[in-house]
Chain A
Amino acid sequence: MMNDISKKKVASQSRNRRISLAVTYTVLVILAIVWLIPLLWIFLSAFRCEYQADGTFIGRVTSNFFPRAIGFENFRLLFTKTYYGVDRAFLKWILNTLVIAVIDCIISTFLVLSVAYCIAKLKFKLRKAFMNITMILGLFPGFMSMIAIYFLLKSIGLTGNPTHPEYSLVGLVLAYSAGAGLGFQIAKGFFDVIPNALVESAKLDGCTNFKVFWKIILPLAKPIIIYQALMSFTGPWMDFIFAKVIIGADNAAYWTVSVGLYSMLFGTHPDTNLFTQFAAGCVIVAIPIVTLFMFLQKYYVEGVTAGAVKG
């Protein structure tokens, strides 16, 4: 008798669980579709290859979600066309961005790690003051300093230089990486949890602070190094506003890829027929970045979680 009741209870419980699981699946699938629709649309638009009756290419936004014809015309145009008076501009933009991203990645990661290590593991006089000043500086809207940085770079010829327009790339690298050391908080959170005993025992063995950092801390810090490198490498691909202001609207040959793509939709001569080429450009930019993220997902999640808990 008792056995029967408990069996029924178990059966109804497992049925409840199955129902709730099915509901969860349904909700998740619907959410996933909602989340992917805009991205899917951009992806499909990149391959859209529709022509009007008179043979002109349709590059604008159209009302059909799925393309009526598929092809690589947008990619071909993107890599061969002259945009804003610059021959093969898209290729140049990609190259500019790649160079900036690599240099910024190296400088920023180095600065962040060195500051984070000092704040987390060394004791010195102005430590707390340094942290407080950094916090206060972080509260000013970034745009306020952006405009001043533009004036500053211009006054030393690192942007808007009539004889050497390519110097503005140097200016942009400086603008991206110079302040990087102030964003040490996540890396510091990571270094904080490395036990101090490890550092102290190494010092007892006669290690200098430099050796502790080089031989003990850095090998342990691989996840945070990868996280910082990923963040600073992808930064220049994602930012468009800083690059737009620093490099300026006239220097189309020295734009980064995001400024170029943005200008295709909102530039000084917005051409509504460039949308599918914009989409193709987005696909080209997004694929390597998304791949990087997917490969390094573990480290990204680690960094994000560390940032959440430590603030």
Chain B
Amino acid sequence: MGTDSKLGRSNKRSGFFRKIGNSFSEFGKRFVDGSIGTKLSHFIFGAGSFYHGQIIKGLIFLLIQVGILAVMIFCPSINNTPYGWKALVNLSLKNVFEGGEFDPLTGEMAVGSDCKLMILFGFVTIALIFIYFIVWSINIASSYKADNDKKVGKKPTTFKDDLKELLDGKFHVLMLTPTCIAATVFTILPTIFMISLAFTTYNQQDMHNLGTNLFHWNGFQNFISVFTGEGSLGFEIKNRFLPVLGWTFIWAIFATLTCYFGGIILALLINKKDLKAKKLFRTLFILTIAVPQFISLLAVRNLLGEYGPINSLLQSIGWTSAPIGFLGLKATDSEILAKIMVIVINMWVGIPYTMLMTSGILMNIPSDLYEAARVDGASTLKMFFKITLPYVIFVTTPYLISSFVGNINSFNTIYLLTGGGPAYPGYQAGGTDLLVTWLYKVTIDQGSYNTGAVIGIFTFLITATITLITYRRSKAYNEEDTFQ
């Protein structure tokens, strides 16, 4: 079995290299075998299409080539930061072009430069180069296909034919292109940009102390100072990373399990035979899902606040003499209490959701399973542990994983309830801060973008490891194709 899978893997790998090799030889073949049009297409986009009389298609290819080349050569600039080849030079954050003008004399970065835009535009330019080569290969393939059509006596496709094909055989291209473009610009590019900030000195506090608005690449220095504790970045991360990480895990485990089992129990109660007003109860609990979270969480926060009704009730019945800081809003409040409170309040938020989800699943459990168990004299509790629970867990494993990852990244609950408090004087991360709320404070409130990026990369590594280990082994992933 083991050797089999190894063999399979090495086959896969050699298959991958063969594919690359094939595509190279394919290019060579096209250049040698192709018509004049195909040969010209290697240098002028759309030449092949013009050669075959596909004017509109050719114009589209040509326009893309001219457009991208123009950007690369003329370097249009926004906010004094250029795109194009200058952006590639600027990406070094050394000897940069300011305002689109080259200043070789100083060799120093001009004070007005905007380093973050330089990085951003550098990556945009790299993306443009990628697009250039993708269109290049599409344009050659298109011309080569028209060559072959001619060889077998068919007419090259017209623009109308191509459009029709877009609605049928190439329908996925039409449907996925908007998402691919949008995701590249608004998800992939920003993610790469933020990752890259982890390798820079972009920390507004430090920059302010040095009296500069410029930053530079500094390699893995930020990751090293996490362990040595150097600088403002290392100090914060070295002393607070492990406590925050530990709490993030404790939080995620408790938040996931309490809501999960609480939801199953609530669903069992509501779905109990002979119970009337099922729908009414279900609707009441859905109400907390429907009310926007920032409203319900802020309501709870104020309800439990220093001057709120709960504290005054506790004082008037004499249980406490001074208001209790349930949510750790002051540095002197109890950290343990705040931690317990956020987990409990999170149950209030999360249980109705699991209840809704499991209700449907509970109704799907074959009732003859229970009847058989009842004939054998099994108690209700036994039936719950032997039939209901295994069935529900089996069906909802993917949900459990995704809700665990979701809880690691659960921003709203913590930020709105405790704001991360009780605070640790001198540090950004408080007692109930998760990695994400810490990331938010460090970047948005403090402007320590490199620290935030380092925390973000750590968070990604954790969630990615958990997901890849559990999810890739799950049935839902491996048998995904069975529906196809």
A-to-B contact residues, CB < 8 Å: 17, 21, 24-25, 27-28, 31-32, 34-39, 41-42, 60-65, 111, 114-115, 117-118, 120, 122-124, 130-131, 135-137, 139-149, 151-152, 155-156, 174-175, 177-182, 192-193, 196, 208-211, 213, 234, 237-238, 240-241, 245, 258, 261-262, 265, 275, 278, 282, 285-286, 289-290, 292-294, 297, 300-301, 304-305, 307-311
Contacts of A141 in B (CB 8 A): 409, 435-436, 439, 456, 459-460
The residue of chain B having its C-beta at the shortest distance from the C-beta of A18 within the complex is B274
B-to-A contact residues, CB < 8 Å: 78-79, 81, 116-117, 120-121, 164, 167-169, 171-172, 174-176, 178-179, 182-183, 185-191, 193-195, 266, 269-270, 272, 274-275, 281, 283-296, 298-300, 302-303, 305, 307-309, 311-313, 348, 352-353, 356-361, 395-399, 401-402, 405, 409, 411-412, 415, 435-436, 439-440, 443-444, 449, 452-453, 456, 459-460, 463-464, 467, 471, 474, 476-477, 480, 483-484
Q: Are A137 and B183 in contact (CB under 8 A)?
A: yes
Q: Are A286 and B292 in contact (CB under 8 A)?
A: yes
Complex CA gap A45/B412 in Å reads 23
Contacts of B283 in A (CB 8 A): 294, 297
Contacts of B169 in A (CB 8 A): 209
Contacts of A120 in B (CB 8 A): 483
* CB proximity of A121 to chain B, nearest CB, Å: 8
Contacts of A60 in B (CB 8 A): 307
* CB proximity of A191 to chain B, nearest CB, Å: 9
Q: Are A179 and B291 in contact (CB under 8 A)?
A: no
* CB proximity of A291 to chain B, nearest CB, Å: 9
Complex CA gap A300/B289 in Å reads 11
Contacts of A136 in B (CB 8 A): 464
Name the residue among B186, B195, B452 with the largest chain A CB count within 10 angstroms.
B186
Total contacts A to B, CB within 8 angstroms?
273
**Interface SS of chain A:** helix
Residue contacts A-B, CB under 8 angstroms, 22 given: A63-B309, A114-B176, A118-B171, A122-B171, A123-B484, A139-B405, A139-B467, A141-B409, A144-B191, A144-B452, A147-B452, A193-B483, A208-B164, A209-B171, A210-B174, A262-B294, A290-B287, A294-B283, A304-B353, A308-B357, A311-B401, A311-B471
* CB proximity of A276 to chain B, nearest CB, Å: 11
Q: Are A181 and B179 in contact (CB under 8 A)?
A: yes
Residue B449 contacts which of A147, A181, A234 (CB distance < 8 angstroms)? A147
Contacts of A36 in B (CB 8 A): 284, 287
The residue of chain A having its C-beta at the shortest distance from the C-beta of B412 within the complex is A241
Q: Are B302 and A61 in contact (CB under 8 A)?
A: yes
Complex CA gap A136/B284 in Å reads 37
* CB proximity of A149 to chain B, nearest CB, Å: 5
Q: Are A308 and B405 in contact (CB under 8 A)?
A: no
Name the residue among B285, B295, B309, B444 with the largest chain A CB count within 10 angstroms.
B295
Residue B307 contacts which of A37, A63, A130, A179 (CB distance < 8 angstroms)? A63
Q: Are A145 and B194 in contact (CB under 8 A)?
A: yes
Q: Are B294 and A238 in contact (CB under 8 A)?
A: yes
Complex CA gap A35/B309 in Å reads 16
Whether A309 touches B361, Cβ cut-off 8 Å, given contacts A63-B308, A143-B456, A245-B444, is yes
Residue A178 contacts which of B186, B313, B459 (CB distance < 8 angstroms)? B186
In order of increasing CB-CB distance, the 8 nearest A-B pairs are: A311-B398, A181-B179, A148-B190, A63-B312, A293-B290, A209-B171, A178-B186, A145-B190
